[in-house]
Amino acid sequence: DVKVTQSSRYLVKRTGEKVFLECVQDMDHENMFWYRQDPGLGLRLIYFSYDVKMKEKGDIPEGYSVSREKKERFSLILESASTNQTSMYLCASSALLAGDNNEQFFGPGTRLTVL
């Protein structure tokens, strides 16, 4: 059974803390994605990666960075967490970025609260 796992389901951090969200996939997918999801705003793409050590900004990269040192792992980093980064964070992976069979497989999400 294919799987995308995220390191935490719930996380509470303080303003100014450095936060790491980890995502691991076991499908040997080239592409990995980080989204945040807020009520009324849907899914917004933060960053994606199409290969090891490669990354591309999504729609809302400000305040975030990412790391992809191994194919199966994609980390989202909040350098200095702020209250407006309280959100649900979803990780996904896909074999292809575009074209047929580019469906994404999602992890269960991490609900981050920044106090």
Minimum CB separation from another protein for residue 73, in Å? 17
User: Cα-flanking dihedrals φ and ψ of residue 13, to 5°?
Assistant: -130, 165
Residues 6+ apart with CB under 8 A from 84: none
Q: Are 19 and 77 in contact (CB under 8 A)?
A: yes
Nearer to another protein, 58 or 63 (CB): 58
Nearer to another protein, 73 or 106 (CB): 106
Nearer to another protein, 18 or 97 (CB): 97
User: Cα-flanking dihedrals φ and ψ of residue 83, to 5°?
Assistant: -60, -30
Residues at the contact surface with another protein, assessed by CB under 8 A: 4, 31, 33, 35, 40-43, 45, 48, 50, 58-59, 88, 90, 92, 97-109, 111
